[in-house]
C-alpha cells in the first residue's frame, strides 16, 4: 500500500486515488459557490439602490446584520456537524441557501430581500463553508490534513475570483434577478447532489483508514487514527480553560478585522486615492489569485512539514507588511503591492488554524470549537467594517485604520509565535488510541 495516501490492490502494484480526495473535490466546489455568493453582495448594490430606491448605508446595514448572523451560526453548524455529521449539515445548508437565494431573486420589496439575505441565506451560508468541514476533513486526513484543508480553502478564493465575474456577466446580459436565479440553480442542481452522492462522514463507513493507510503496519501492529489531541475536551467550553484557545481566538479576531475591512472598503479606498473602480477590481482579482496560489503552495509543500504556529506567525507578519505598503507607498503602487503581499496571506490562516485546533483539542468537538473561532472572526469583522467607515468619516482617510491594522497584525504574529505547539499538538505527542 502506498504511503502517500493512495490506495490500490494489495501486492499488485496498482494505485488509485484515496477516496478522501474525492470528498475534498466535492466540498471544494461547495465552498467555491457559497463564498462566491457571499462575496457578490457588493456587486448588486447599484441595482438594488436604483430599483428599491434605498441608500447604500441601508444596504450596508443589511450586510452588517448578515455578517453577524453568519458569525452566530458558526458554532451552531459546527456543533451539529460534530453530532450529526458534516454531510447532513452541508446538504441542508446548501438546500436552504439555494432556496433563500431564489427568494432574494423574487423579492417584491427591499424588506423581503433583506429578510432572505440577512437571516436564511446568511445562517445557511455558515453550514456551506469551512466550519462543518473541519471535523469532516480531520477524520479523513491526519498526515495530509493541512494540504486537504488548504485545497478547500482555495475554493473560497476561486469563488471570489471566478463566480463574481460570472455573476457580473449575467447582470450585464440580463438583470440581477437572473444572476441570482442562476447562482441558486447551481447550488440546487449541481452542489447539493454532489454533496449527497460523494461526501461520507468517516472513512470507516467505507472500510477505509485516514490518509488511505492500510489497516495494519508492515510488522502486523494495528494502525489507529490520531483523533484525540493532548487537550481533548468533552465540551467546547472546556477549551477556554487553556491558553492555546485564547491565543487562537485573539489571532483570529485580528484576521477577521483585517480581511473584512478590505472586502468592504477596498474599492472605496481606491476611489479616495484617485484610482478608478475598474483598476481597483483588477487589483482585488489579483489579491484573490495570489491568495489561492499561496494557500495551495503552503498546503502541499509547507503546512504539514513545519509547526503550524510558525506558518501563522509568518502569515500575520506578511499581511502586516501588506497593510504597511498602503501607508508608505504611493497609492498607485501600494495598491498592487498590497494585492500581492497581503493577498498571499488572505485565507491562508483558515487551514492552519483549523488543523491546529483539531490537533490540540481532538476531533470530537472540533466543529463546535472551530465554530466559536469563526464566530469571533466574523463578528469582529462586522464591527471593523463599521469602525472603518466611521474612522474615514472622522479623519477623511483610511490611513489611521491601516496603521491600527499593522499594529494588530504585529501583535497577532507575536501571539502565534508564543503558542507552545510541540507541547499541545497531537502531531508531536504519542499516538492517541481513541476513535472519533
Q: What are the pLDDT digits (tens) for 271-321?
A: 888 888 778 878 888 888 998 999 999 888 888 889 999 999 999 999 999
Q: What are the pLDDT digits (tens) for 258-279?
A: 998 887 788 778 888 888 877 8
Q: Which domains does the chain have, with CATH numbers?
A: 19-207 (1.20.1250.20), 236-428 (1.20.1250.20)
Q: What is the pLDDT of residue 276?
A: 80
Q: What is the pLDDT of residue 4?
A: 43
pLDDT band at 217 (very low <50, low <70, confident <90, very high): low
pLDDT band at 188 (very low <50, low <70, confident <90, very high): very high
| Residue from 318, 316, 329 nearest 399 by CA | 329
Share of the chain above pLDDT 70, in %: 92
Q: Residue 12: pLDDT above 50?
A: no
Contact 356, 309 (CB under 8 A): yes
Q: What is the pLDDT of residue 59?
A: 84
pLDDT band at 216 (very low <50, low <70, confident <90, very high): low
Q: What are the pLDDT digits (tens) for 43-72?
A: 888 889 889 998 877 887 888 899 899 999
Q: What is the dihedral of CA 105, 95, 157, 183, to 10 degrees?
A: -30
- Could you give the CA distance from residue 127 to residue 133 in angstroms, rounded to a whole number? 9
Q: What is the pLDDT of residue 227?
A: 59
The per-residue pLDDT of the chain, averaged, comes to: 88
b/e 397-408 (16+ beta carbons within 10 angstroms → b): ebeebbebbbeb
Q: What are the pLDDT digits (tens) for 71-115?
A: 999 999 999 999 999 999 999 999 999 999 999 999 999 999 999
pLDDT band at 161 (very low <50, low <70, confident <90, very high): confident
Q: Residue 236: pLDDT above 90?
A: no
Predicted model pTM: 0.84
Q: What is the pLDDT of residue 13?
A: 43
Mean pLDDT of all residues in 369-380? 93
Q: What is the pLDDT of residue 435?
A: 45
Q: What is the pLDDT of residue 40?
A: 84
Of 138-152, 235-249, 265-279, minimum mean pLDDT range: 265-279
Of 13-17, 318-322, 387-391, minimum mean pLDDT range: 13-17
Amino acid at each position: 500500500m502506498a504511503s502517500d495516501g493512495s490506495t490500490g490492490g494489495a501486492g499488485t502494484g496498482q494505485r488509485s486515488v484515496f477516496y478522501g480526495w474525492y470528498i475534498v473535490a466535492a466540498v471544494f466546489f461547495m465552498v467555491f459557490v457559497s463564498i462566491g455568493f457571499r462575496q457578490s453582495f457588493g456587486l448588486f448594490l447599484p441595482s438594488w439602490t436604483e430599483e428599491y430606491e434605498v441608500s447604500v448605508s441601508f444596504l450596508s446595514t443589511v450586510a452588517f446584520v448578515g455578517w453577524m448572523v453568519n458569525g452566530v451560526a458558526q458554532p451552531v453548524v459546527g456543533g451539529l456537524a460534530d453530532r450529526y455529521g458534516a454531510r447532513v449539515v452541508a446538504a441542508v445548508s446548501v438546500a436552504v441557501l439555494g432556496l433563500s437565494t431564489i427568494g432574494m431573486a423574487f423579492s417584491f420589496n427591499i424588506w423581503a430581500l433583506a429578510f432572505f439575505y440577512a437571516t436564511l441565506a446568511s445562517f445557511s451560508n455558515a453550514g456551506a463553508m469551512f466550519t462543518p468541514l473541519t471535523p469532516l476533513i480531520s477524520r479523513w486526513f491526519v498526515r495530509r490534513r493541512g494540504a486537504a484543508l488548504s485545497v478547500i480553502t482555495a475554493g473560497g478564493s476561486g469563488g471570489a475570483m471566478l463566480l463574481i465575474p460570472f455573476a457580473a456577466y449575467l447582470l450585464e446580459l440580463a438583470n440581477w434577478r437572473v444572476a441570482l436565479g442562476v447562482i441558486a440553480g447551481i447550488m440546487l442542481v449541481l452542489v447539493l447532489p454532489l454533496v449527497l452522492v460523494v461526501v461520507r462522514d468517516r472513512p470507516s463507513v467505507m472500510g477505509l483508514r485516514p490518509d488511505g493507510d492500510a489497516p495494519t503496519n508492515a510488522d502486523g501492529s494495528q494502525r489507529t487514527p490520531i483523533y484525540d489531541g493532548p487537550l481533548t475536551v468533552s465540551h467546547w467550553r472546556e477549551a477556554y480553560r487553556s491558553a492555546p484557545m485564547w491565543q487562537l481566538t485573539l489571532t483570529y479576531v485580528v484576521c477577521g478585522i483585517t480581511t473584512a475591512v478590505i472586502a468592504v472598503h477596498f474599492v472605496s479606498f481606491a476611489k479616495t486615492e484617485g484610482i478608478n473602480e475598474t483598476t481597483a477590481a483588477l487589483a482585488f482579482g489579483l489579491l484573490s489569485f495570489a491568495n489561492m496560489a499561496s494557500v495551495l503552495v503552503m498546503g502541499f509543500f509547507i503546512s504539514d512539514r513545519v509547526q503550524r504556529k510558525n506558518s501563522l506567525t509568518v502569515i500575520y507578519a506578511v499581511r502586516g507588511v501588506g497593510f504597511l505598503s498602503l501607508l508608505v507607498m504611493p497609492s498607485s503602487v501600494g495598491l498592487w503591492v498590497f494585492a500581492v503581499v497581503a493577498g498571499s496571506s488572505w485565507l491562508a490562516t483558515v487551514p492552519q488554524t483549523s488543523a491546529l485546533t483539531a490537533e490540540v483539542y481532538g476531533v470530537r468537538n472540533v466543529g463546535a470549537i472551530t465554530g466559536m473561532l469563526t464566530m469571533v472572526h466574523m463578528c469582529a469583522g462586522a464591527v471593523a467594517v463599521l469602525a472603518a467607515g466611521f474612522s474615514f468619516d472622522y479623519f477623511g482617510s483610511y490611513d489611521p485604520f491601516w496603521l491600527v491594522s499593522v499594529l494588530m497584525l504585529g501583535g497577532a504574529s507575536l501571539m502565534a509565535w508564543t503558542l507552545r505547539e510541540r507541547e499541545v499538538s497531537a502531531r508531536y505527542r504519542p499516538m492517541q488510541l481513541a476513535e472519533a
